[in-house]
Structure 1
Amino acid sequence: MNLHKDIIIIGGGAAGFFAAINIAEKSTDLSVAVLERGKVGLQKVKISGGGRCNVTHAEFIPSELVNNYPRGEKELLGPFHTFMTGDTISWFEERGVELKIEEDGRIFPVTDSSQTIIDCFLNESKKHGVEVFYNQSVKSFKIIGQGFAIQTNNGQFTCNKLVIATGSNPKIWKLLEDLGHNIVSPVPSLFTFDIKDRRITDIPGVVAKDVEVTVMGTDLVSEGPLLFTHVGMSAPAILKLSAFGAVELSKMNYIFKIEVNFIKQDFESCIEQLKDFKLGFAKKTIVNSTQFDLPKRLWKQLVLASNINETERWADTNKQQLEALTLQLTKAEFNVTGKSTFKEEFVTAGGVNLKEVNFKTFESKRIPNLYFAGEVINVDAVTGGFNFQNAWTGAYIVAKNINK
């Protein structure tokens, strides 16, 4: 196989298809092709959001939206003024995909199926003449004149403009490095914490609704829901820490201490409340009188960890026990011994150095006619649809610039 196309997009994922469709839709005289290394594309879309595809997040102010990107916050502010959440919603709904906003701000198709998004991309690609070539593992690409030659395991392609939308792909990063780009070494982002601790061993599935978590000895702090799992801790409070602390926690080899404030109060105000409970609930057992709107099973474990037994009443507690319970509620320390991938969605920090990308066009500053979309550049986000929004925004701006 030896084919020439005006535009070739390497990567048959969310960013790749979005760019291809927007290029082909606006320009009928450009030939557009997508090269996908697998037998089928859009596999990350398929598994995202637990198979429902978390398309984006209900944050409609660019300056607020960028706060969800540990890497890329400054660079994405301009692009988000061009294409962001509202534009994403309109784009899909104009093509027959109705979306819904859930209570936590995440946005999904009303069908609750990622296949709806996949079908939309495949139908739109076919409608606008985008050719998709599967089983095309890229071996090399090089500059020829003002364009590019791409060698895959199944043939050679040439093009005038090349879009890289391969996500976190070390092989592609190496090829870009060979062309002169600097690649920020990838480290995992969005991971859960492995913790072995008797306080949480028996409470997997329990959620503390709003906590504050600090990585001790650092400036890393986050707030939000906390989920206890069979191996440790997860949910937004932990995932935000893992994203914003991706580089720092990697340097620690994922062995560090965290401090959890389960009630988001200081020591003094907490112990005063406990003294009030001692008077107000004098005859009640402490274990069975859950306070601070905590889950009953968590409250019990924190009480027992404070040297208070299951039959002890509020009236019987001494000063040391109340202080110990206050520490468990406001400054509980846990040893993190490793990390686990968050579900099946593997996100990394790293990629093409952001200083080498023109964020008005998403074109390489080093190589003319070479563009980037999605996580191939050193941009990543917290969980909740933000990584997809980066993909849509970059791909849209790439298409807009190519169609000028």
Structure 2
Amino acid sequence: DEKQTLVVVGGGAAGVYGAIWAKTACKHLKVVVLERGHFLSKVKISGGGRCNVTTGLFVEPLPLSQQYPRGHKELRGSYFREHGPLETAAWFHEHGVPLKTEEDGRMFPVTDDSGTVVECLLNKARRIGGSFGLFTGNVEILAVSLKSNALVKDIVPLNGRFDVHFKNKNEPFSEKLQADFALLATGSSPQGYKLAKELGHDLVSPAPSLFTFKVADSKLGELAGVSFEHVSVDLEILGWNKRSVNLRQDGPLLVTHWGLSGPAVLRLSAWAARDLLKVDYKGTLWVDFAPKFSLDEVKKLLVKQKTLSPRRKLDSGAPLVLQLVKRFWQYLIHRQDLNEEAVWYELSNRQLGDLAGLLKRCSFQISGKGEFKDEFVTAGGVPLDEVNLKTMESKKCSNLYLAGELLNVDGITGGFNFQASESQSLEISYDHGGNKWFLLLFQNAWTSGYLSGSAIAKKATSRSL
């Protein structure tokens, strides 16, 4: 039989993983991966070079699907059931990259080196069928062909197949590949959106997701680097009469030179990405810096401090049980227009009550989103209802498959986007004073890569029988 060909457009986590699974399940399938830049570049830089491969917190499909602001309804069925975090971890372990689970559920290679993940994937792709391909009887079995610096210009459906036109950045001429199957795994690149649209798909317009907030407060900016292990944050978007329950998040918070960041803020930005875009990233954050205590309990703590240390200077620090950095406590005193030289007994109980109220509900005006060379992750892409989520095959174009961040799926912090592209995970770390917070974007990549690759292999095998 004539050899069948799969062309994968995009050499990120979803594309490479999909190519591996297609080739593994159908050895005689010719697989070519075209990447315009460097293979697995996001995997390489993720986690400050550690790579949070997936999550160990949510292994069941329903709670895992709920970690995706875009996709939590559609992915709650069988999507993660065949290849979720446990299957992902098992695959990497089987291929020489055992993972470890940290206390917060993040799963890293035991080497703490993203390079081991990159090399594992590339070596597996290159060696399927032998280091340079091998012969079985009279049939040649080649490894996956990886072509970098290859910009795909267009994909033309033709009699059930595809003509894929691409150009090497270093060559003046274009080339053509004929493919029986095409897998689009182009991430959030404009070219990928263009290809999907030309092949009949609608697009949910891209919008930044998972970003920090700018806050116009010079005094707050002086506290850059101050972190809070656990706060509760409400986001109120201008123009709304009431807040949605989805716009509240608990978790760590970080003060930056330009405003506020940390997992609690980033999760809010993901859930509210579309609404924030509509109002030009304006709104109000209400932060509870003492979520373990009620307002009345905080008031009593402050009154107790006044009773026990009446002549102690107010700016010397908050009650220890509140676990507030001294500099931040002094910021709150300034916000309340209290005399920094005052001692505790000089404050009335009403003033202490107002200070407690600020601790429990401190407002910050959002003036914009943090600026980065690249956004952490993008909301938008091909609508999920245009894809068969059991196989990742397009409902618009037969034999076309889609995977990874090209789809309108994005995950909140915790390793979820890599698991959607391997079931997808860019991980960004903040390291301030020994505190590391990792924003994970991979579990979608692993799952969608697995589902698409396996489905392509099954169809290719059935055709050759």
Q: Distance in 2 between matches of 1:168 and 1:42?
A: 14
The farther-off stretch of 388-397 and 105-114 is 105-114
Per-residue deviation, residues 196-225 of structure 1 (Å, max 9, x unmatched): 314422211111111111112432111110
Residue 97 of structure 2 is matched in structure 1 by 97
Residue 449 of structure 2 is matched in structure 1 by 395
Q: Contact conserved, 2:211 with 2:375, CA < 8 A, in 1?
A: no
Q: Contact conserved, 1:192 with 1:342, CA < 8 A, in 2?
A: no
Residue 176 of structure 2 is matched in structure 1 by 156
Query: Aligned letter for 2:400?
Result: L
Identity of aligned residues (%): 43
Over the aligned positions, Cα root-mean-square deviation in angstroms equals 1.7
Q: Does 1:66 align with 2:65?
A: yes
User: Which aligned pairs between 1:107-126 and structure 2 lie closer than 5 A?
Assistant: 107-126=107-126
Residue 378 of structure 1 is matched in structure 2 by 408
Q: Distance in 1 between matches of 2:371 and 2:390?
A: 33
Q: How many positions carry a matched residue from both structures?
A: 400
Q: Distance in 1 between matches of 2:363 and 2:219?
A: 11
Distance 1:44 1:5, change over 3 A: farther
Residue 354 of structure 1, aligned match among 378, 381, 384? 384
Q: Distance in 2 between matches of 1:85 and 1:208?
A: 29
Residue 202 of structure 1 is matched in structure 2 by 222
Query: Aligned letter for 1:124?
Result: K
Residue 177 of structure 1 is matched in structure 2 by 197
TM-score by length of 2: 0.82
5+ residue gaps, structure 2, are 129-142, 168-173, 419-442, 459-465
Once the two structures are TM-superposed, the CA of residue 297 in structure 1 deviates from its matched residue by: 2.1
Per-residue deviation, residues 104-157 of structure 1 (Å, max 9, x unmatched): 221111222111111111110111110011221011111111111111123111
**Partner secondary structure for residue 191 of structure 1:** coil
Query: Aligned letter for 2:308?
Result: G
Q: Does 1:212 align with 2:212?
A: no
User: Which aligned pairs between 1:192-271 and structure 2 lie closer than 5 A?
Assistant: 192-216=212-236, 217=240, 218-219=243-244, 220-264=247-291, 265-271=293-299
The farther-off stretch of 56-65 and 389-398 is 56-65
The farther-off stretch of 103-112 and 137-146 is 103-112
Per-residue deviation, residues 247-296 of structure 1 (Å, max 9, x unmatched): 01111101221111111244344323322332233233232232312222
Query: Aligned letter for 1:289?
Result: G
4+ residue runs of structure 1 moved beyond 3 angstroms? 265-269, 341-345
Q: Contact conserved, 1:47 with 1:345, CA < 8 A, in 2?
A: no
Residue 150 of structure 2 is matched in structure 1 by 136
Q: Contact conserved, 1:48 with 1:345, CA < 8 A, in 2?
A: no
Residue 309 of structure 1 is matched in structure 2 by 339
Q: Distance in 1 between matches of 2:113 and 2:416?
A: 18
Residue 170 of structure 2 is matched in structure 1 by none
**Partner secondary structure for residue 115 of structure 2:** helix
The farther-off stretch of 216-225 and 180-189 is 216-225
Q: Distance in 1 between matches of 2:375 and 2:263?
A: 14
